[in-house]
């Protein structure tokens, strides 16, 4: 099996990155994490990646100011130098230009802490609680120029509880993120996904039939 070469782009603590690194240690995993790039110097995730023996790079976005594409050209050079096949955004706090997204069309994933297309953007957990939704979750999707859009590869849901705070809800959603991101990358890297009319289809089987109903009436 030829493993796909994956770069993870981060800006912060890198817990999703860590979940991907851990999953990719399995012999039968179809991808290897060969590079972690941060746009913020000293991002917490860099140390985790280094401890796992993974090459890291910092391409700071700040010095480029508003010139997004100049930053991305430098980032792209770094990715090409490492022979990257697939890019995973994992808490990468930087809007990407259509140029960069175009370079990685169909080969770049993102994880978003909400059930897209609901709650694009920031503060998803606060907004979900304010709306009183009963089910919330996370989404792994292919990246397209429009933010938090693009074909959905996988979603995971949690029940929202009456006594939830944004922090408590975020923690349960984060657990789900750490499960679905490695699974979604497995699907994509093993060629089990295809995009038809902007929708991601998969040949993977095994979605459970049971519904998540919240709140449960006992």
Catalytic residue set: 112
- Cα 13 to its chain centre, rounded Å, is 13
Q: How far apart are CA 41 and CA 146, in angstroms?
A: 27
Report the distance separating Cα 65 and Cα 211, nearest Å: 47
Query: Of the two residues 113 and 156, which places its CB atom closer to ligand GRF in the complex?
Result: 113
**Is the separation of the CB atoms in 135 and 156 below 8 Å?**
no
Per CB under 6 A, 48 contacts ligand GRF: no
Beta carbon of residue 178, minimum distance to ligand GRF (angstroms, whole number): 8
- Segment interacting with ligand GRF, rule: CB under 6 A, options 12-20, 28-36, 61-69, 183-191: 12-20
176-195 footprint of ligand GRF as x/- string (CB under 6 A): -x------------------
Q: Which residue has the tokens 């000293």?
A: 42
Residue with tokens 């509880």, as numbered in its chain: 161
CB of 111 to ligand GRF, least distance (A): 4
Nearer to ligand GRF, 111 or 144 (CB): 111
CB of 77 to ligand GRF, least distance (A): 24
Residues 108 and 97: beta-carbon distance below 8 Å: no
Q: Report the alpha-carbon distance of residue 36 to residue 151 in Å, rounded.
A: 24
Binding site for ligand GRF (CB under 6 A): 10, 12-17, 90-91, 111-113, 174, 177
């Amino acid at each position: 099996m030829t493993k796909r070469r994956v770069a993870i782009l981060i800006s912060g603590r890198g817990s999703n990155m860590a979940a991907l690194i851990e999953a990719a240690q399995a012999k039968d995993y179809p991808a290897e994490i060969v590079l972690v790039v941060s746009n913020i110097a000293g991002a917490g995730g860099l140390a985790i990646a280094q401890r796992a023996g993974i090459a890291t790079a910092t391409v700071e976005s700040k010095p480029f100011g508003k010139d997004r594409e100049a930053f991305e050209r430098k980032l792209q050079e770094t990715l090409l130098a490492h022979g990257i096949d697939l890019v995973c955004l994992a808490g990468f706090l930087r809007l990407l230009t259509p140029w960069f997204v175009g370079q990685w069309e169909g080969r770049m994933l993102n994880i978003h802490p909400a059930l897209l297309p609901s709650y694009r953007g920031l503060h998803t957990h606060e907004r979900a609680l304010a709306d009183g939704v009963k089910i919330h979750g996370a989404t792994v999707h292919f990246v397209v120029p429009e933010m938090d859009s693009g074909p959905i590869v996988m979603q995971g849901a949690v029940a929202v509880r009456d006594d939830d705070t944004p922090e408590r809800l975020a923690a349960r959603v984060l657990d789900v993120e750490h499960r679905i991101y490695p699974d979604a990358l497995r699907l994509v890297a093993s060629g089990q996904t295809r995009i038809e009319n902007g929708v991601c289809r998969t040949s993977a089987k095994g979605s459970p039939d049971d519904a998540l109903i919240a709140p449960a009436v006992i």
